[in-house]
Amino acid sequence: MQPVTLIRPHAARRAARFFVEKFPGRSIYAVKANPSPELIQLLWDSGITHFDVASIAEVRLVSRLLPEATLCFMHPVKAEEAIAEAYEHHGVRVFSLDSMDELEKIMRATGNATDLTLCVRLRVSSEHSKLSLASKFGVAPDEAKALLFAARQAADALGICFHVGSQAMTPDAYAQAMHRVRQAIVDAAVTVDVIDVGGGFPSSYPGMEPPPLELYFQTIHRAFEDLPISYSAELWAEPGRALCAEYSSLVVRVEKRRGDELYINDGAYGALFDAAHIGWRFPVTLLREPESEAKDIAFSFYGPTCDDLDHMAGPFLLPAVTRAGDYVEIGMLGAYGCAMRTGFNGFGSVETVVVTDEPMVTLYDAAQRPAANNVVKL
């Protein structure tokens, strides 16, 4: 028996429509969150026309599936061959960078192209986010001026981008980053054509219930409007998690119980990387007919490989009677979970079934949101 992935196309469609209709700018799907071709197609069908790609494999994937889509190569450190192929063969014109070296690389690889949109990535804080992206990428404040100036000379359109870290738990994360953007624009005194607020839009997990997404959109819109270039610049975002977290869940089988530890048939090397390595908690339900009425207790999980690391501390709340042979649904695995699955130890193959019921948690159910927050006022 293999784990089964439950796919909920309607949930991703609803998330995409939400971003397309309510984000006060362009929503660019970050393919790394879930590169499933079916998902990419359905996002396109729901109005997402731009895709943030991080590698040449993602460039090839999206350009094969959706030749009409616009691709934005937003990894700040790219292979020179990847830039050349993306530019020459796949029509990519948008690239991000955070160093002079990368700027030179892009110019070399594209033969000093004059039709590029170059987005300079600023280093911003990840303090409000559950997963930091603050150390690896982003130009430091004291180097931003020179890089913006050089990129302005080379670019047809100049952008500024950042990433506040994944699963940003408050809209303040964006307000603070936009403050950095304002300082960078004023310091460099350059015209900027694009402000790209990156990803970081949250989903809902146990112990990590964020405010409504509309508040994030309002905060970003207000901060954008306050920038000296807002009258002529475009506003972009690169949501990954928020567009696909609700898209899939996983049904696993309990193979053994040892006290409050459940040995299940997926784990750290499967779709539960985040549960194992960063202690992320996911919603769980025991699938029994009739439903168990036993009270919930806290379990931890072991995955199927022979490795002690294949352990997920949780806690995962399940009825006290849960035992070997039971099936458990683990929710909200559409973002990153499926994308990081490996075949280690011979595990990792999954069946996929399309279902139409609601995901365990949703951020997109209008009935659950305060009415006053439902609209972004433009």
Ligand X SMILES: Cc1ncc(COP(=O)(O)O)c(C=O)c1O
Nearer to ligand X, 199 or 337 (CB): 199
334 scored as a contact of ligand X (CB under 6 A): no
Kindly report the three-state secondary structure assignment for every residue of 345-356: HHCCCCEEEECC
Least distance from C-beta 25 to ligand X, angstroms? 14
Question: Taking the C-alpha atoms of 265, 343, 137 and 207 in order, what is their torsion angle to the nearest 10 degrees?
Answer: -10
201 scored as a contact of ligand X (CB under 6 A): yes
Q: Which of 206, 239, 303, 304 binds ligand X (CB under 6 A)?
A: 239
Residue 39 in tokens: 């998902």
DSSP letter for each residue of 147-186: HHHHHHHH-SEEEEE----EEE-STHHHHHHHHHHHHHHH
Least distance from C-beta 332 to ligand X, angstroms? 13
The span from the CA of 75 to the CA of 55, in Å, is 7
Q: How many residues bind ligand X (CB under 6 A)?
A: 16
Q: Which stretch binds ligand X (CB under 6 A): 30-38, 56-64, 104-112, 171-179?
A: 30-38
Judge contact between 184 and 113, C-beta under 8 A: no
Nearer to ligand X, 95 or 269 (CB): 95
Site string for ligand X, 124-163 (x = CB under 6 A): ---------------------------------------x
The span from the CA of 17 to the CA of 48, in Å, is 8
Least distance from C-beta 54 to ligand X, angstroms? 7
Judge contact between 192 and 184, C-beta under 8 A: no
166 scored as a contact of ligand X (CB under 6 A): yes
Q: What is the largest CA-CA distance in the chain?
A: 67
CA distances from 369 to 14, 217, 366, 374 (A): 15, 14, 5, 7
Least distance from C-beta 23 to ligand X, angstroms? 12
Nearer to ligand X, 50 or 311 (CB): 50
- Give SS3 for 43: helix
240 scored as a contact of ligand X (CB under 6 A): yes
Nearer to ligand X, 70 or 292 (CB): 70
- Give SS3 for 7: strand
| Residue ranges in the chain assigned as alpha helix (H) | 9-22, 37-45, 56-65, 80-90, 100-109, 141-154, 172-188, 213-225, 241-244, 273-277
Judge contact between 95 and 73, C-beta under 8 A: yes
Least distance from C-beta 35 to ligand X, angstroms? 12
Site for ligand X in 73-92 (CB under 6 A): 74
Q: Which stretch binds ligand X (CB under 6 A): 79-87, 98-106, 192-200, 260-268?
A: 192-200
Nearer to ligand X, 30 or 264 (CB): 30
Q: Which of 3, 9, 199, 314 binds ligand X (CB under 6 A)?
A: 199
Nearer to ligand X, 121 or 253 (CB): 121
Question: Taking the C-alpha atoms of 32, 204, 357 and 368 in order, what is their torsion angle to the nearest 10 degrees?
Answer: -130
198 scored as a contact of ligand X (CB under 6 A): yes
348 scored as a contact of ligand X (CB under 6 A): no
Q: Which of 30, 154, 192, 272 binds ligand X (CB under 6 A)?
A: 30
Q: Residue 155: beta bridge partners?
A: none
Q: Which stretch binds ligand X (CB under 6 A): 26-34, 83-91, 184-192, 370-378?
A: 26-34
Q: Residue 316: beta bridge partners?
A: 299
Least distance from C-beta 198 to ligand X, angstroms? 5
- Which residues make up the interface to ligand X (CB under 6 A)? 30, 32-33, 52, 74, 163, 166, 198-201, 238-242
